[in-house]
């Protein structure tokens, strides 16, 4: 699946199927992602080494999450977020689609 260069470092997709993706990412100090959200996917960050700040925009509030080795964070679908690398960072990133148990429509 190969390593892909990004403006903030590089990433490698290790696994994907119809409902989930698993990456390892190397993020360079003082680099950041764009502010973005995922329409249908949850996003899980697990920091292996380094330090990362993840911002979440929720209503009128910006939450600032500081993550270091062993820390993790889940961002739900449709939540604007952005990461900022404080110290060279290696992290695991997992995306998955949440199955809604109430999505069934019955006629009888």
Locus of tokens 């698993």: 22
**How many whole angstroms separate alpha carbon 50 and alpha carbon 71?**
10
Tell whether 70 is covered by a domain. yes
Is the predicted pLDDT of residue 81 greater than 70, yes or no?
yes
**Number of structural domains, the chain?**
1
E strand or H helix at 84: strand 80-97
Q: Give a yes or no: residue 107 inside a domain.
A: no
Q: Does residue 108 sit within a domain?
A: no
Cβ(23)–Cβ(69) under 8 Å?
A: no
Is 8 a domain residue? yes
Domain residues for 50?
3-97
CA-CA distance, 79 to 87, in Å (whole number)?
25
Residue 61 pLDDT exceeds 80: yes
User: How much is the pLDDT for 99?
Assistant: 74
Query: Would 106 be classed as within a structural domain?
Result: no
CATH of the domain at 34: 2.60.120.10
Put simply, whether the predicted model's pTM sits higher than 0.85 gets the answer: yes
Residue 105, in any domain of the structure: no
Query: What per-residue confidence (pLDDT) applies to 36?
Result: 95
Q: Which residues face 105 on adjacent strands? A: none
With a cut of 70, say whether residue 105 has pLDDT above it: no
The answer as to whether 69 is a domain residue is yes
In the chain, count of helices (H) and strands (E)? 0, 7
28 lies in some domain: yes
């Amino acid at each position: 699946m190969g390593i892909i260069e990004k403006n903030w470092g590089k990433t490698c997709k290790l696994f994907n199927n119809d409902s989930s993706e698993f990456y390892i990412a190397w993020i360079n100090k003082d680099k950041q992602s764009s502010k973005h959200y995922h329409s249908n996917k949850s996003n899980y960050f697990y920091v292996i080494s380094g330090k990362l700040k993840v911002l979440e925009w929720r209503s009128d509030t910006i939450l600032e999450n500081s993550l270091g080795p062993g820390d993790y964070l889940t961002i739900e679908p449709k939540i604007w977020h952005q990461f900022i690398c404080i110290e060279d960072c290696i992290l695991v990133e997992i995306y998955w689609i949440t199955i809604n148990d109430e999505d069934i429509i019955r006629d009888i």
